[in-house]
Structure 1
Amino acid sequence: MTSKSRVVVIGAGLAGVRLARRLAELGMSAVLVGEEEHRPYNRVLLAEVLAGRYSPDVIALPAPADLVRARVTGIDRAARRVNCADGSEIAYDTLVLATGSNPVLPPLRGLFTPEHVLPEGVHAFRTLDDCLGLSKAVRPGIRAVVIGGGLLGVSAARALALRGASVVLAQQSERLMERQLDPAASRLVHRHLLALGVEIHTESRVRDVRCVGGAVRSVEMPDGYALDADLVVLACGVHPRVGLAKDAGLSVHKGVLVDDELRTSDPDIFAVGDCAQHDGEVYGLAAPALEQADVLAEVLAGRAGARYRGTRALTRLTLTGLDLAAFGETVPLPGDDVVQLADATRGTYRKVVVRDDRLVGGVLVGELGTVGALARAWEGAEPLPDDGPLLHLLTNDGGSS
C-alpha cells in the first residue's frame, strides 16, 4: 500500500480516531466518517458525565482534520465508494470499518411505541446523546430502574444515585458483573451500590414496561410486582454493528470476520474495534480496539510483520469510591493455586489465580496499586520467578500503572 492510497474509516469512536492519529504519525492520512454530531469522545467515560463529574468537553477526543459528519448507508465494493444518507458518495482505495456496537434492547412487552421508538423516559446508555438525555431527565427523587447488572449497568446505577435519583437495579443473573468478577468481588460492588441507596434485585428479569400516554410509568417484575419508574435505563450489553458489512456481502459471524492483518473477506476492507471478530473473539472493550488500531496503522503503512495476535484484555472501572480491575480467569479450577487478601473494613479485596506457575487471572477491588505488576505478569504468560512470591505481587504497590 502506498501513502497515496485513500483510506476511509467509517466510525469516529476510540478505534477510528486512534487509527487516524497513528496513520498521521506514519505519514499517511485518513478520511474519518462519523454520524454523531458531537466531537469524537471517549465512550468509556460516559458514566462520569452522567454522574456530573465530567463535562462532555472533558471526554472529547482530538478531532482529525479530515472528519466528515455523515451516516453511511451502504458500501459499493465494485465502485469502491460508500454511500451516505445525504446522497453524497465517498470514494476509497482502502476502507476500514470501525462501526462499533449497538445496545442490546431486551424483548420486553411495551418497550416500543407503535411507531417503534422507545417511550418517553426509556433510554439506552451507549452514546453521548443517550447520556445527555438521561442527564436532562434525572433530578433528585426521580424513580429510576436500571435493567442490567454488568459493567455498564453498575456504572449507570451509581451515576444516577450520585445525582439523587431513587435507583433500582434489576439483574437477571445471580450476582453483579458476573462475567468479570468472582463472587467475593461482586459482593463488594453490591455493598458499594447499597451504600449509595441503590435497591438491587438479582435473579430478576424485568418482563414488561408499562406506559401511560407514551411515557413510562412502571416496570413489571417476574412475580408480577410493579416498580414505579420515571426513568428506565437499558444496560443489557451490546452487539457488534455489522449491518453495513452484511449488506455489502462481507463474511460476518458475531462480528465482521478479520484475519491477523485485520482484513475482512474483501482484501480492500478492514475492520477494527467492537465490530470486528478475530480468531473467534469479539472483545467489546477499549484496550483491544486501541491495539487493533495500532496494528492496522502499521499494516496499512506497509510495515513488515505487523500482525494482530489477540488481546489479553483487562477490565478496569475507576470511579470515585469504586475502583476495580479484573483479568483472565478469576474463578480457579481444581489444582490451581489461589492467594487472596481481603479487608472488610476498608472494602478492599485482591486475589490472583496461578496455574502451572503462571498467573492466569486476578481481581482487585478498592486499591489498584498492584494492578500494573499483576497485569504485566499475566500478559507475559511467563513462569513466575521463584524469588517473587505471589504475596509480593499482591502487596507491592510499586508496580502500579
Structure 2
Amino acid sequence: MRRIMVVGHGMAGSRFVQELRARDQGRRFEVTVFGAEPEAAYNRVLLSSVLAGSLTPAEIETVPSAWYAAEDVELRTGVEVGRIDRRRRRVLTTAGEHVGYDHLVLATGSRPWVPPVDGLVGDDGELDRDVVVFRTLADCRAMLSRLGRVRYAVVLGGGLLGLEAARGLAGRGVDVEVVHPADRLMERQLDLDSGRVLARTLRGLGVRVRLNAQAVRFTDGWGGGGRGVRLDDGTRLPADLVVVACGVRPNSALAAAAGLDVGRAVVVDETMTSVTDPAIHAIGECAQYDGQVYGLVQPAWEQAAVLADVLAGGPARYGGSAIVTRLKAAGVDLAAMGETDVDDFAADDGLEVLRFADPARGTYQKVVIRDDRVTGAIMLGGPETVGAVTQLFDRAAPVPADRRALIFPGVVDAGGAVDPADLPDDHTVCRCNGVTAGRVRAACEAGADTVADLAATTRATTGCGGCRSDVAALLSATRPTVEVPA
C-alpha cells in the first residue's frame, strides 16, 4: 500500500483527497492529511459572505471531518509540517513526529503580505491588536469579534480580497475607506475606465476609495484618543481597525528548505510533480507551472484532479488554466477574463474591442476579440450576457456576426445568452467545478430537490457561488413541482 501525505488542508488539499478517493475504490493508498488550521475544510472564497453576514461559517464548510473517517483518511488538523527529509522520504511535524511517505503532496497555499507600514507590526513581530489580515476563517472571526467597537476601518489594498472585505464591513455599518497605491482598483484585471466605474459603484455602497495613495504609519493619538492611518501625502484617516489585503506570497519555504526547485512557487511539470523530486508534488497557490502561479480556486481544483488521476495511474495532464476572475461583493456583479487592458487596435486588423459604459448605473462592458474569438472581457453590472461571453472565452468558439449581442441581451442570438432553463446540456454552468447543465438536469431527475442537494451531488455552486441563480433556474425548470427558494 502506497503512503500519500498531503501537507495543507485548504481548498486544493481537501479537493485532491476527494478526487483521489474517487479513483481509489480498492483503497490502494494510505492517505494522511496535515492541516495547520484547526478547522474543517471550508471555502475560502466565500469568507467575504461570512463577513457580510449572508453566510455562517458552517455554511461554507466543504468537506465534513466525518468524511475523512468514513473514507479511511487520517486527518491531522492544527498540525504543521516543519521539515521534509527527502532522502528518507519522511517529514517532521510540529508535534515532533517523523512520518513517512511514498508521495508527498504540497498544498500549502499562500500567506498574506504585510507591507512595511510603521505601526502595523509590533516589536514582537506580531500584528498590532487593531490590525488584521483577511485570509482565513480565524481572520474573519477576528474582524467579526471587533465589530461592536469599530466605527472606522481602513482597508489597505484594492484587489479582490480588499474590496470584498471592505464591502462586507460597510454592509455591517462600518465607515470604510480603501487605500490603494495604483491608479485603479483591481489593476491586474481591469482597465482604467472600468476601475473608475467600479470605484463609483462602491462609493454608492458605502465604500470610499482613495487611489494613488500609500499608507506610511498606523498611529495612536488621534483626536479624542483614537487611532488612525497617515498617508504619504500627509492625509490622516481615522481607523479603529486596519485590514491588510495587499496580496499574498506562495508558501514555498518548506519546499525551498528541502532543496526543491522554487521560483515564485514550487516548480512542477504537467503531472503536477516537482521537477526536482518525482516523489513530491505541488498543487494550488504553492505550485508554479510554465512560469505561472494561479491564485484562484478553479486552477487549484483542476490541478488537484490531474494529480489524483496521475497517482491513480491515469493519463491526465495539466496544460494551464483560462482564468475568469469574479468579485464576490454584495451589490457588485463583476467578471473579468483574459486580456482586458487592450485599447489600441488601429494597427491590428484582427483585433476588435467592444465597449459600453453607463457609470450612473454601474455598468461597464468590454469584450476583446481577436480573429473572431473572445480573448478578454470585463463585465461589470451586466449579468445577462456574462455567461455567453464566458462560454465563448472558454471554448474559443466563434463570436456571433452581430457583435452587439455580446453586450446587449436580446438584440440577436449571442450564441448562448439564453434563459438558464434553456441552456444546452454541454453548457458549463459551474465554471469552478466544470459542471454542465446536463449534469445538473441529471441530478435533478435522480431526485435532487434543492440547490443544496445539487451542490452535494454535483459540486455546482460550491466554488465562487456565482452560478447559484442558473442552477436554481435549472432545478425549477427540470422539477417544476419543487419550490426553489429565492
Q: Give the letter aligned to residue 125 of structure 1.
A: F
Q: Which residue of 2 aligns with 1:242?
A: 252
Q: Which residue of 2 aligns with 1:91?
A: 100
Aligned counterparts of 2:34 and 2:154: Cα–Cα separation in 1: 35
* Residue pairs, 1:193-272, within 5 angstroms: 193-211=202-220, 217-264=227-274, 265-272=276-283
**In the superposition, relative to structure 1, how do residues 345 and 229 fare at CA in structure 2: closer, same or farther (>3 Å)?**
closer
Greater alpha carbon shift after TM alignment, 88-97 vs 260-269: 88-97
Matched, 1:300 2:311: yes
C-alpha deviations, 1:32-57, integer Å up to 9, x for none? 21110111111111111111111100
**In the superposition, relative to structure 1, how do residues 390 and 230 fare at CA in structure 2: closer, same or farther (>3 Å)?**
same
2:147 corresponds, among 138, 151, 167, to 138
Aligned counterparts of 2:170 and 2:129: Cα–Cα separation in 1: 20
Aligned counterparts of 1:45 and 1:366: Cα–Cα separation in 2: 20
Number of residue pairs the alignment of both structures matches: 393
Q: Which residue of 2 aligns with 1:68?
A: 76
Q: Which residue of 2 aligns with 1:365?
A: 380
Aligned counterparts of 2:396 and 2:18: Cα–Cα separation in 1: 30
Q: Which residue of 2 aligns with 1:51?
A: 52
Q: Give the letter aligned to residue 339 of structure 2.
A: E
Matched, 1:23 2:25: no
Structure 1: tracts of 5 or more residues without a match: none
Q: Percent identity?
A: 44
1:282 corresponds, among 276, 289, 293, to 293
* Larger helix proportion of the pair: 2
Matched, 1:392 2:405: yes
Greater alpha carbon shift after TM alignment, 357-366 vs 215-224: 215-224
Aligned counterparts of 1:244 and 1:167: Cα–Cα separation in 2: 37
Matched, 1:321 2:331: yes
Aligned counterparts of 2:220 and 2:23: Cα–Cα separation in 1: 54
C-alpha deviations, 1:48-106, integer Å up to 9, x for none? 11111111001111134121121111111111111111112322110000000000110
Aligned counterparts of 2:296 and 2:125: Cα–Cα separation in 1: 29
Greater alpha carbon shift after TM alignment, 369-378 vs 160-169: 369-378
Q: Give the letter aligned to residue 23 of structure 1.
A: L
Q: Give the letter aligned to residue 406 of structure 2.
A: L
What TM-score results when the alignment is normalised by the length of structure 2?
Answer: 0.77
Aligned counterparts of 2:259 and 2:162: Cα–Cα separation in 1: 34
Secondary structure of the residue aligned to 2:377 is strand
Structure 2: tracts of 5 or more residues without a match: 421-428, 430-486
Q: Which residue of 2 aligns with 1:13?
A: 10
Contact 1:110 1:211 in 2 (8 A): no
C-alpha deviations, 1:293-342, integer Å up to 9, x for none? 111111111112x1100001110124331111000011224232112233
Aligned counterparts of 2:219 and 2:285: Cα–Cα separation in 1: 32
Q: How well do the aligned residues superpose, as a CA RMSD in angstroms?
A: 1.9
Q: Give the letter aligned to residue 352 of structure 1.
A: V
Aligned counterparts of 1:318 and 1:150: Cα–Cα separation in 2: 12
Q: Which residue of 2 aligns with 1:339?
A: 354
Q: Give the letter aligned to residue 13 of structure 2.
A: G
**In the superposition, relative to structure 1, how do residues 318 and 232 fare at CA in structure 2: closer, same or farther (>3 Å)?**
closer
Greater RCO, 1 or 2 (C-alpha within 8 Å, sep 6+): 1
Matched, 1:311 2:298: no
Aligned counterparts of 2:45 and 2:304: Cα–Cα separation in 1: 17
Aligned counterparts of 1:389 and 1:25: Cα–Cα separation in 2: 44
Secondary structure of the residue aligned to 1:207 is strand
What TM-score results when the alignment is normalised by the length of structure 1?
Answer: 0.93
Contact 2:168 2:329 in 1 (8 A): no
Shift of 1:398: 1.7
Greater alpha carbon shift after TM alignment, 87-96 vs 115-124: 87-96
